[in-house]
Amino acid sequence: MVYLVLTDADIQVKFISYRIFLVEPGHIAIKFSKLSGLSNKNYKEGWHLRIPYFERPIIYNVQTKLKSIKASTANKDMQNVILNLRVLYRPR
């Protein structure tokens, strides 16, 4: 038989890991609480505290994204003009 032996340090690490959450660079989090709903505060990158059963973080990616748009048209001399537009945007 295999017995699982948990030391006091193991129990403390598990307890702490349920109480914190990490927001990675390029992301923003908001907390959802079962008691009060969504909070108005944004949590930027780093470690943040939460109440384990009642709160959970919702993490959004807000890194700059690229969108390429290609278009083809003719000018007044009927020569074909190819346009390539690159748009960088960041959700807020």
Confidence of residue 29 (pLDDT cuts 50, 70, 90): very high
Q: 1-34 burial, b for 16+ CB within 10 Å, e for fewer?
A: eeeeeeeeeeeeeeeeeeeebebeeebbbebeee
pLDDT digits (tens, 9 = 90+) for 36-87: 998 889 999 999 988 888 999 999 999 898 999 999 988 888 889 999 999 9
Confidence at residue 4, expressed as pLDDT on a 0 to 100 scale: 65
User: Quick check: 14 pLDDT over 80?
Assistant: no
State the pTM of this model. Answer: 0.64
Residue type (1 letter), 55? E
